[in-house]
Amino acid sequence: MSIIIFITSLAILILVHEFGHFIVAKKFGIRVDEFGLGFPPRLLSKKWEETIYSLNLIPFGGFVKIFGEDFQTPSENVAAPACAGRPSTLGVTADQTSFQYKPKWIQAFVLVAGVTANIIFAWLLISFLFLKSDGIIAFLEGAKTTLFIAKETIFGLAIFLWNIITFTADFSQISGPVGIASIFGEATMLGLSHIIYLTAVISINLAVINLLPFPALDGGRLLFVGVEAIIRRPISQKIIHYSNVLGFAFLIMLMIMVTGHDILKLL
């Protein structure tokens, strides 16, 4: 049961993240080719206006296909799951509904919308835990707790990254999917409030990690947009593509190492 709760919670958090990108892109008139629940292969789909809404076989979150985000032509669209990066392809479109056609500040809004959605979702979850008190006080306490967790997460992540740079990182002190699933098992035994709180903490962690200015993350893409705004010309798509590939490879390697430590701790 705890595994099911963990997978469901993680899927919801990824879906919330992608919905943030989706709703802001729509708000600024950027074409969204598809909003998917789960990952392909596709089971059901319905097209409404220019967007395909799909239900897919693999139930781990969702994805959005934002037209022009990956420098694709109208016939080239690549699914973009949260935390997995968005590798660029060659070719640029001048379509006014394209992500690339929009001003840099709008592109930045779309890119930070996912992490913003995760933070807001965490705030609402934590506020729910304070609802025994007055409604306004609950939301204020929820905001204070959310900011505190975000600050501690940023501080802890900064230390961990510095330790990686200095080759002193202790990977046994962090948890990957296996370790988090184990923690969810403990939370399940303690009750619903602990599950809600843990989900909120993970949502904040996803937001903070995604904002890192590292290729294959939203923060990395945001960094490229910022550089393009300063130099007033597009960055070479080969540079962006290979940066994302290397960044994604590093993240996969890091995940494998962390998962290995998780399994050893369980054994």
Three-point CA angle 112, 159, 13, nearest 5°:
35
What does the pLDDT read at residue 86?
41
Q: Give residue 80's pLDDT.
A: 39
Q: Do residues 32 and 25 lie in contact, with contact meaning Cβ atoms separated by under 8 Å?
A: yes
pTM comes to 0.80
Length, in residues, of the chain: 267
Where are the extended beta strands (E) located within the chain?
A: 32-48, 51-66, 80-81
Please list the ranges in the chain whose pLDDT falls under 70: 1, 60-61, 70-94, 133-134, 171-173, 266-267
Residue 207 CA: distances (Å) to CA of 89, 98, 133, 261: 26, 25, 28, 23
